[in-house]
Structures are given as C-alpha cells and as structure tokens.
Structure 1
Amino acid sequence: MRRPTIYDVAREAGVSKSLVSLVLQGSGRVSDASRAAVEAAVDSLGYRPSRAAAELAAGRTMLVGVLIDDYANPWFVDLARGIGHVLGPEGYRLTVVDTATMPAAEDPVEGMLSARVDGIVVARDVPEQLLATAAPPLVVAGTRDRIPAGVDAVANDDTAGARLAAEYLLALGHRIVAHLSAGGGAAAARRRGFEEVIRAAGGRVVATDYGGPATEHAGFDSTVRVLAEHPEVTAIFAVNDVMALGALGAARQRGIDVPGRLSIVGYDNTSLARTRLIDLTTVDDDSFGVGREAGQLLRARMAGGNGDVVRLALDPVLVVRGTTAAAP
C-alpha cells in the first residue's frame, strides 16, 4: 500500500501543499479552520511527515559520515559507539563507509558529499578529495600519516602505549622479542616506541617490514615467518589485537605454548581481546573515548565554532591478561 504524501494531505484538506507545510511546522500564520482541516486529513490518512525532507528544508540532514578502512577491526566499532554516544542524543545519525570493501569504481567521499552529511569523522588517512573540495566540517580520529592543517584531531598516544608494552615485557625478563608491524601512522608510532625502549635496555627486536593492512591473516603469516627464522624469540608485540589473534593462531598451529613458551601482546583492547577464550594482554587505547572526543569536536564545528584547532592525545593503559608470562 502506498504511503500518503503531503500532496495527498493537501488534496484531502482542500488546501495548498505550502499551507500543509506551515501547519506541520507549527506556524502561527494559519487560520484555525485551515489548521483543523489539515490535522483531520493527517489523522484520516495516517500521514507521517518525512524527517529527511524537514531536515533538508532546514538546511541540514542530521547525518554524520564516518570514513573507515577496515570494518573487520573491532576498533572501529568502539570508535563509532563513542561518536554515537555524543551525537545520537543530538538527533544525528551515523553513516559508516568502509573504503576497504567498496568497489574500486565507487568514490566513498563523493557518496558522502552527495548525501549532504553535516560533518565527517575521518578514521583513516584523509582522502585528498576532502582537502580539495568544499567539504563539511572534518575531524580526524586516530594517528594518521598526515593530518591537514586547520583540522581537529583526536587519537591515543600510540608511542606511549607501545612503550608500556615494551617495559612490561622487559620486566618479565624478555630480551629477544618480535614486533608485528603494518602500514599507517599508528603502526609507525607504535613500532618506534616499542623499539626505542627494548633497544635502550639492551634487548633485540625482530620487526617485520610488512606494510599492508593489519589483519588476522597478516598476523598469522608474519608470526609463522618470525618463529621459523628466529626461534629464540620469547615474546611478540602485535600492532593491534587483530594481528595478535593471528599470532595466537600461528603459535597454536606450531604447538607452541602461550604464554609458557611465547608471550603475546596486542593493542586496542577490543571486544575480542576481552573475551575469556582469548584473554589477550593488550594496550587499551580507549577507542570509545577517541570516538567520544571526536564527536564532541565535530559537534562544536557543526554548530559554527571557529576557535583554535584542537589536537588531543588520550593516555593508553596496559591491560594484563592470560597471554603473557615470565620469559622461559
């Protein structure tokens, strides 16, 4: 059955469409008789005003775009929850676009701009198109290779978090350790912080040079190679929890006891790491908090705020669980 439109209401009430719009907007410029006729027609037809149309008429869509590059990583889920925690009560809806799963011919940025989003949280490297066009307010979430001048950004202190992991492994007696790295600004910062601490203490880091996305498959393959080439390694620090899961799978396949023979540390403290089955020692980068702060920054910009550019770095916390122990 076809849903009634504003034109049906106008026809039923015997008035113009513009007058129906005035009644729906609560305008005082409508006579009591006309208002009563429109309200009766609305009730009779079961008409519900289009929220999207009303918002467009007001010059906004109440849509916020979130641009990511790997929805398989639970970090993005916690990030989106944090953004929604701030913007949801304001009436905003999130539209999330994962650039990793889109056909090459599709342009995710153009899609968001066509949807007339009121603001965008960019949780990946910032696409050049957003810098070369009249885009809505932007906020960058997470550590990125390059953050445009004049754009607010919030992340966790990735270098500090990696140092926490390194100091913890050293305290457990590990001196020959591996680091599973990946591409991107956050991965570079984590590798730098981890290597600095281990080497300053006289330890040795076997670091992978993989520069692709930080997936479970990549973590598995990297760990198989590291353990085959460097059996002396007693601990692995993965650039994120997803790669750490791959490391756990590789250790299990090779019959290596975790944590008795090999300790494994992840990063992000995702929902997977917190499960009792996996019980992963990891660095909590407060991804929900990153999303919350990004939402607050974006809300201020969408409201017309034009103050100083804000750059926030949240403090990470080490969470010790069951995948780490003293060096054998």
Structure 2
Amino acid sequence: MDRVTLQDVAEHAGVSMKTVSNVVRGYRHVSDAMRTRVQASVDALGYRPNVSGRRLATGRTDMLAFAFPDLRRPYFAELAHVFSEVCAARGYQLLLEETAGVPGAELSAVRGREAGVVDGVVIHPQVLTPAEIDRERGDTAVVFLGEDVRPEGADLVAIDNVRAAAEAVAHLAALGRHRIGFLGHEVGEQSRTSAFRTEGYRDGLSAVGLPFDPSLMVAREIGDARGAEEAFGRALDDGLRIDGLLCRDDLAAVGALRAMRLRGLEAPRDVAVVGWDAIGLAASLVPSLTSVAPDTVALAEAALDRLQERIEGRPGEGRAVTVGHRLLVGESAPYPDGSVD
C-alpha cells in the first residue's frame, strides 16, 4: 500500500495541505472544530509523518531538545516530564540531554550537537557564562531556563527566585519564628540559583525586621539529601539553634527533617521547615513539606512559545519572561492557624 501523504489527508478532510500541516505540527492557531476534522482524517487514513521527507522539504524535523544538569534530581525529572507532555501536545518529539553541569556538555547543547536532528534547544545551564553561550550557540534556536544567564538575542524563562525566597521567609516569620536559617547552598562559590535564593533570604529577613546572621546559613558539600543531612546535623551538634529554616531545594529539606528527627527535634514544633520545588515526594513526607512551587507548566509553555517563534525566524532582542510560583503549604510549616493546603 502506498504511503499516506499530507495531500491524501487534505483531500479526505476537504481542507488545504497547509491546514493539515498546522494540525499535525501542533500549531495553536487552529480552531478546535478544524483540528477535530483533520485529526479524524489522519486517524481514518492512518497517516504518519515522514520525518526524513519533511527534513528534506523544510529543513525541520519537529524534534526539540531539552538539556538540563541532572536527571537524578527530582525537580529536573518532573520538569522533563512536563516538557514531554507540552511538546507532544504541540506535535513535537522531545530529546532529553543530561549535561551533568559539565561545560563541554552544555557547550555541545547550545552549539546544536544534534544539528540536523532537532529544530531547537531549551537548556538549563549550570556553568556556562553568557559570553560563552553567545560565542558558541551559532544559528541554533535556543531558549534558556533558570537564572538571568543569556546573551543578547536569546530568550530566558524563569521564576523570580529572589521574591519567592523572601515570601518564604515572610511565611516563617508569620509563624513567630525569629531565628530563621538557610540550608543547602554550595560550599565555596555559589551557583547562580543559590545566589538568587540566598539574596531573597536576606531580603526577606530585612523586610520582616530580622537581622542577617551568617552563622545561621549552613552549606552542604554534596548537593543531595544526604549531604544536607550531614551538614545540618553537624551544625545542630555544634550548637546551631534556629526555629525556622528555608532550604535551597526539597532534597535539602528532606535531609534537614531526617537530621532533626535523629536528634529528637520535630517540624514544625521545634523548627518550621520550607523546601523548594514542590517535588511529588514532598506531599508524602511526615510531616508533609511546605515548599516553593514553581509553575512548571507555565514555564514549559512559555519556553516553547518562544522557541517556536525563534524556529520560525523571529528576529530581535532576547526576552526575559518570569512565570509564577506559589508557596504550597504543608505540615512542616503550616499557616498560622495550623491549616495546610
């Protein structure tokens, strides 16, 4: 049987090939009625896109790449899932690329290592500078996630880490906590993410009239839950006394809760704890974790909106887009009346 073509689908549906192409590629500017009509013809004829032919005809593959530091971190695993779903809804396939925060791997991603395979790249850089990115990305359509690290002409999508951290501190202060610590930033030079979150932590203390005390900040040598547990446990053993704790991420919060429990301390009775990322595990902990929750769906949608525009040839200066977040309140730091979300 001959391969079903776009023209066959167009004739079956009684529409133009352009309309069929728009539906198959997942373009949003198609009415629901037209999308349903075309999809019915696609299903009836058993049409499957010819990636090789489309690449020869258009220079595109309808495949995108998402490059991120570490799939073992729950936040990135969950974000990759969200991106996969949003891409599928738009008719794209997604290639996942773990960079491990290695400069060479990040450079390969922004150079378009999969040149000829993907149409564009969304990347969450961890170590590259804006100058390195600008020098190496060439003609690759790129959208950046995370902190404000982007060259001119590139787009960035992020949450407001400074504001979110300050709001978390305000929540802890509203619970009557006066010695609020910060756990989980790196020993030595901080990552950009940690730098913004610690800046927000300090801003939050200032906003509620509490002094900044560097002795209440606990760094970890290894960026996982065990590293946080060990660092926080040592600090407690050395005499650290706090009644509130903002953690750089939920893994740090998991480590903090374990270190506390091993020493007879409980959240929120002794220390109210706030994490960051609202990973799926957070709601299942005992106590359930209060956590800063980025709007990951809005983040993925905004990133892909801008990547599609760049793929289509949109020129001009880069745009920085901030998506929303919320504090998802659990048992580790409930509302002042004791309730949770």
TM-score in terms of structure 1 length: 0.76
Is 2:218 the partner of 1:208?
Answer: yes
Q: For CA contacts below 8 A with separation 6 or more, give which structure has more relative contact order.
A: 1
Is 2:52 the partner of 1:53?
Answer: yes
In 1, are the aligned partners of 2:133 and 2:150 still within 8 Å (CA)?
no
Q: Extract structure 1 runs of 4+ deviating beyond 4 A.
A: 23-27, 104-108
1:78, distance to aligned residue in structure 2 (A): 3.6
Counterpart of 1:43? none
Of 191-200 and 231-240, the range deviating more from structure 2 = 191-200
Is 2:182 the partner of 1:179?
Answer: yes
What are structure 1's unaligned runs of at least 5 residues? 1-8, 10-19, 28-47
| 1:30-41 pair list within 5 angstroms | none
2:114 partner SS: helix
CA deviation digits over 1:55-90, x for unaligned, max 9? 332312222111100212222234334433443233
Determine what percentage of the aligned residue pairs are the same residue.
Answer: 25
Which residue identity lines up with residue 125 of structure 1 in the other structure? Answer: Q
2:100 partner SS: helix
2:269 partner SS: coil
Which residue identity lines up with residue 74 of structure 1 in the other structure? Answer: P
In 1, are the aligned partners of 2:66 and 2:121 still within 8 Å (CA)?
yes
In 1, are the aligned partners of 2:68 and 2:97 still within 8 Å (CA)?
yes
In 2, are the aligned partners of 1:259 and 1:322 still within 8 Å (CA)?
yes
Counterpart of 1:160? 163
2:147 partner SS: coil
Is 2:226 the partner of 1:217?
Answer: yes
| 1:87-106 pair list within 5 angstroms | 87-100=87-100
Partner of residue 253 from structure 1, selected from 262, 274, 279:
262
Counterpart of 2:173? 170
CA gap of 1:254–1:56, structure 2 versus 1, over 3 A, is same
Partner of residue 321 from structure 2, selected from 299, 312, 328:
312
In 1, are the aligned partners of 2:168 and 2:327 still within 8 Å (CA)?
yes
Q: CA RMSD, aligned part only?
A: 3.1
Report which of the two structures shows the higher radius of gyration computed on alpha carbons. 1
Is 2:283 the partner of 1:274?
Answer: yes
1:272, distance to aligned residue in structure 2 (A): 1.6
CA distance, structure 1, for counterparts of residue 54 and residue 239 of structure 2: 60
1:312 partner SS: strand
CA distance, structure 1, for counterparts of residue 304 and residue 69 of structure 2: 19
In 1, are the aligned partners of 2:268 and 2:331 still within 8 Å (CA)?
yes
CA deviation digits over 1:268-317, x for unaligned, max 9? 11212233655100111212221221111111111222244221112322
What are structure 2's unaligned runs of at least 5 residues? 9-46, 337-341
Which residue identity lines up with residue 56 of structure 1 in the other structure? Answer: R
CA distance, structure 1, for counterparts of residue 316 and residue 116 of structure 2: 27
CA deviation digits over 1:89-138, x for unaligned, max 9? 33211111111298x89985378334631100011237436732424200
1:139, distance to aligned residue in structure 2 (A): 0.3
Which residue identity lines up with residue 207 of structure 1 in the other structure? Answer: M
In 1, are the aligned partners of 2:107 and 2:133 still within 8 Å (CA)?
no
In 1, are the aligned partners of 2:112 and 2:137 still within 8 Å (CA)?
no
1:173 partner SS: coil
Is 2:240 the partner of 1:231?
Answer: yes
In 2, are the aligned partners of 1:118 and 1:137 still within 8 Å (CA)?
yes
1:259, distance to aligned residue in structure 2 (A): 1.7
Is 2:175 the partner of 1:151?
Answer: no
Which residue identity lines up with residue 306 of structure 1 in the other structure? Answer: P
Counterpart of 1:77? 77
Counterpart of 2:204? 197
CA gap of 1:95–1:221, structure 2 versus 1, over 3 A, is same
- Aligned pairs, number: 285
TM-score in terms of structure 2 length: 0.73
Counterpart of 1:263? 272
CA gap of 1:141–1:217, structure 2 versus 1, over 3 A, is same
CA gap of 1:89–1:317, structure 2 versus 1, over 3 A, is closer
